Amino acid sequence: MENLALIESFSEFKDDKLIDRVTLMAILEDVFRNALKKKFGSDENFDIIINPDKGDMEIWRRRVIVADDDLDLENEEITLTEARKIEPDFEIGEEVSEEVKLIDLGRRAILALRQNLISKIHEHDNTNLYKQFKDLIGEIYTAEVHHVRPRVVILVDDEGNEIVLPKEKQIPSDFFRKGDNVRGIIENVELKGNKPQIIMSRTSEKFLEKLFEQEIPEVFDGLIMVKKVVRIPGEKAKVAVDSYDDRIDPVGACVGMKGSRIHGIVRELGNENIDVINYTSNIQLFITRALSPAKVSSIKINEETKRADVYLKLEEVSKAIGRGGHNIKLAGLLTGYELDVIREGNIAEEEDDVELTEFSDEIDGWVIDEFAKIGLDTARSVLKQDVEDLVRRTDLEEETILDVMRILKEEFNS
């Protein structure tokens, strides 16, 4: 009965941790052999028989019988007198098997056994958890918000595993409450000491790519390939798609009727504006498509420097650059070229035009910067714009825009 007290607790580890029988037995044997080594110096002459399902265990010590006058006894030896206490007809040279009770190891050793067992099982769990989530890197995963902190959201999955969603991996518009279900990709698994830390991301390009796989059947089936994804999380993204089947329109299939297919992805990403573009190996055509909705007049490419001069009519410049410069930045990332915008227009008007910075004594610098962000850096380029459109594309109030236009008009009317 002495052995049962410790063994009875083994089943709780098995149930809680879902460890298979073979693994549990290996852990138990390893723990007991370590204890035997400490007590007797060696475990080579011990047989350990464990049945964790029934909660029983036996430890048998094998020793060879030697003469009583052999004073330098080894761990594997027993004197004839001691052997005959076990079985009276034993003789020198025979092998004796004697059961070892846990109580013989001592109370402190038994406490150490349990602690060692717990440690080994946790180590096993952590190793399995690390391997499990290493295989899930780059895949979409869903977990529930357990705790919201200023710099991180702690999530827990259905198996109770803790997943970390750092602030910098969250979309700027993300707002979470305890109990919310959150989707993201498993971006990395890091070992913090012996414990794996699972990192989730919602800002990764891979997350958007995987959402296309989940939401668009043709992408999932491999009929449409996502060639490249670039993002400014929560603001804008560009996705280049292609198909080997000429009968399939990859852009139309991804967007769906009236945007029906892509709407769920946009909503998941906090209303991130997603441009889906037909991929082509023709770099001039690819740059033209990447700069949509702007209409490009012509492009001059320098293959060595990976730069391209993009010629646009004056009214197309702001569309190419986009709000906050997002459109041209993403087009450059998508195509792999640094894009320089060159305005085309009426030569007489351009010669007569005035840089906005020349009005710094009448217009605040931050207001001039707002116009520059959308590619408007001259007086005439601003005056050509629609006021409502400028309100939508900048962070300026209508009253401010009207005041700027009044100042600029006076320059040309004077």
State the chain's mean pLDDT as an integer. Answer: 84
pLDDT recorded at residue 390: 84
Pairing of strands 181-192, 195-201: antiparallel
| 159-164 mean pLDDT | 88
Q: How far apart are CA 49 and CA 51, in angstroms?
A: 7
Could you report the per-residue pLDDT of 197-236, keeping only the tens digit for each? 899 999 999 999 999 999 999 999 999 999 999 999 999 9
- Report whether pLDDT(191) > 60: yes
369 conformational bin, left if phi > 0, alpha if psi -120 to 50, beta if neither: alpha
- Report whether pLDDT(4) > 60: no
pLDDT band of 348, cuts 50, 70, 90: very low
For 61-65, 166-170, 198-202, which range has the lowest pLDDT when averaged over its residues?
A: 61-65
Highest mean pLDDT among 20-24, 29-33, 405-409: 405-409
Q: How far apart are CA 388 and CA 397, in angstroms?
A: 10
Q: How many percent of the chain have pLDDT more than 70?
A: 85
**Element (DSSP H or E) covering residue 351:** helix 347-352
pLDDT band of 1, cuts 50, 70, 90: very low
**Radius of gyration of the CA atoms of the chain, in A:** 37
pLDDT recorded at residue 26: 73
Could you report the per-residue pLDDT of 229-257, keeping only the tens digit for each? 999 999 999 999 999 888 899 999 999 88
